[in-house]
Amino acid sequence: MPDTPNDILARFGQQVRDRRTAAGLSQERLAAACGLDRTYLSGVELGKRNLSLRNIAAIADALGCEPGALFDRPATAGTQPSLLDMFGVDLTFVTQVVQATPSLRGIILGYLAERKLWELFAADPRITAIRKDDDHDRENKGDLVVTYRGHDFRFEVKSLQTNSIRMWNPAADRWMPKIVKAPSASPAGGRRKKNRWVECELYRTEWRAGGSAGRFAGAVQCDASDNREIVLPNGSRVKTTNLQVGEFDVLALGLFAFRERWDFGFMLNRDLPRTTSDKYAPIDRQFLLKTLVPVTWPLPPDCHPDPFPLLDRLVAERRRT
């Protein structure tokens, strides 16, 4: 069945939105590059604008692609096969593996949270640029760098540690863990059983009964991906996986694992707890962040659902200095 004009407009808008977010451009910045109004471009991405050939060419030029590429169907728009095709598995198989491996689910959620935050910023006209530095760059920590009101700000994106998540059960007057340790099946040879993490059945039962509207508690793993030697402001040299005070601007806490919604909380670096580890001299601890940051839902007062008031504070401080 041939596409209707509305189908074509919707597909064109999806291509524009996908290519814009992949390039780290806000609607405002892409509109300026095309010589179009931002509200017009928003209508294009929603499939609500019947464009002229001149505007199609302008958008394609700003995105660095041929005009025809903006009409590609989603299945043929990219050059890479899907992960399912790449690994030769189906969606049911992947779902079973991820559900049976909480640690793997946590890793996947971490990367998805980073991408989700990128998309949120890319769709907001107040953000004029986004970039991601090399993950292995030991000098510049931060998962995303956004430009806001003429200033660059580094965001470190971290997600909930799976085995820290708990939900309040008012009937039992206690916290329920999301996952618990359970013995694995006995291996061949009669060796000792190993424990593995599995989802708590009571937790899932209560969650399905309306727990997503309840109270949650957990902790975010806030550390570096490698053990590195750093020089602290007092001149001390330490080898550590801890992140430093002032090493980035804002911590973005990915909280999907609480309510299974893409919720975020935001905290200024300077407001994060400092390490109390005996591995470091007392004089050095003030410069190193704690590796586990506790968080609850609803959010505590020092954790904000909107990053822009925090960025406004940082902009004001930079202008004063």
Say what the pTM is: 0.71
Domains contained in the chain, number: 2
Token reading at 163: 């085995």
For the record, the structure tokens of 166 come out as 């708990």
DSSP state of 132: -
Query: Are the C-beta atoms of 206 and 167 separated by less than 8 Å?
Result: yes
Calpha distance 124→263 (Å, rounded): 17
Both 41 and 153 in one domain: the answer is: no
Are 39 and 105 within one domain? no
CA max distance for the chain: 74
- Whether 10 and 127 share a structural domain: no
Residues 314, 241: one domain? yes
* CB contact at 8 A, 116 and 110: no
pLDDT at 75 (0 to 100): 52
Q: Which domain holds residue 44?
A: 5-77
Domain presence at residue 101 = yes
pLDDT per residue as tens, the chain (321 positions): 567 888 888 889 988 988 888 787 888 888 888 999 888 998 898 888 889 999 999 999 888 888 988 988 765 444 556 677 777 878 888 888 887 787 788 888 888 999 999 988 988 889 999 988 765 555 656 689 999 999 999 999 999 988 899 988 888 888 988 877 776 655 555 555 566 667 777 777 776 666 567 889 999 988 987 888 999 999 999 999 999 999 999 999 999 988 888 999 999 999 999 999 999 999 999 999 999 999 999 999 999 999 999 999 999 999 998
- pLDDT score of 110: 87
How many other β-carbons are positioned within 10 Å of the β-carbon of residue 302? 12
Please spell the DSSP secondary structure of 166-229, one letter per residue.
EEEETTTTEEEESEEEEEPPPPTTSPPPPEEEEE-HHHHHHHHTTGGGS-EEEEEE-EEEEEEE
